[in-house]
Chain A
Amino acid sequence: QQQVKQSPQSLIVQKGGISIINCAYENTAFDYFPWYQQFPGKGPALLIAIRPDVSEKKEGRFTISFNKSAKQFSLHIMDSQPGDSATYFCAANDRGGSNYKLTFGKGTLLTVNP
């Protein structure tokens, strides 16, 4: 059972455009939703994270939108740059219990063309 579903699998955007990646989750106990960025040959690096008590969080060009009733959240990258080309993973965690392990989506390969 895939607990976090991510789409699209790949995305091509022109420089300056908006990149949007979507995730949906099933486990209502999840209450922490990070996005990780991974470059080839590197480990995932935390990009931005949100908790369900807010509907949106913005850090620079990166914004998370969160819809608790729909159990969906998305990452928006404004003014996308070629350096943003990487694989992006959404993830979820249950802070309240002992379920400290992250559950990841399958990833989105983003290519930003110059």
Chain B
Amino acid sequence: GAGVSQSPRYKVAKRGQDVALRCDPISGHVSLFWYQQALGQGPEFLTYFQNEAQLDKSGLPSDRFFAERPEGSVSTLKIQRTQQEDSAVYLCASSLILSGRALETQYFGPGTRLLVL
């Protein structure tokens, strides 16, 4: 059916507030990625899940960023004590797995635009 969906589409937060961003991947896609896209820049990798396992979180910029995918489907990216530099579009992408390895084609959601005031 549908592609990758994300919610909310827009989020305004006051500095210091916690936020939670949701991603619904394409049904059956085992791999799930989060990327951060600053204004006028390309997406930058944050973290990767295969099913419920978080296999790579090397791109998370600080310990204020936390991601989870408890049932291997929906994922949530949480940012604690938001700072102005966290303002960006947060993109979620999913892909299939073949022979234990994520296929190259990643399908992106529309993103959540976060503005921290």
Asked if A101 contacts B105 (CB within 8 A), the reply is no
B62 contacts partner chain A, Cβ-Cβ < 8 Å: no
For residue A46, give the distance in angstroms from its CB to the closest CB of chain B. Answer: 6
B1 contacts partner chain A, Cβ-Cβ < 8 Å: no
Asked if A44 contacts B104 (CB within 8 A), the reply is no
- Knowing A102-B43, A105-B42, say if A34 contacts B48 (CB, 8 Å): no
A41 contacts partner chain B, Cβ-Cβ < 8 Å: yes
Which residues of chain B in 63-117 are interfacial with respect to chain A, using CB atoms and an 8 Å cutoff?
A: 91, 93, 101-102, 104-111
For residue A17, give the distance in angstroms from its CB to the closest CB of chain B. Answer: 24
* Interface mask (B42-65 → A, CB under 8 Å = 1, otherwise 0): 111100100000011001000000
- Knowing A44-B91, A44-B108, A107-B41, say if A100 contacts B59 (CB, 8 Å): no
Q: Which residue from chain B places its CB closest to the CB of A89 in the assembled complex?
A: B42
Q: State how many residues of chain A have any CB contact under 8 Å with chain B.
A: 25
Task: Compute how far the CA of A104 lies from the CA of B44 in the bound complex, rounded to whole angstroms.
Answer: 7
Task: Compute how far the CA of A81 lies from the CA of B55 in the bound complex, rounded to whole angstroms.
Answer: 41
| Inter-chain contacts of B31 with A (CB < 8 A) | 100
Task: Compute how far the CA of A89 lies from the CA of B106 in the bound complex, rounded to whole angstroms.
Answer: 14
CB < 8 Å neighbour of B42 from A45, A93, A104: A104
Can you list 5 contacts pairing A with B, beta carbon distance less than 8 Å? A43-B4, A98-B56, A102-B33, A103-B45, A104-B44
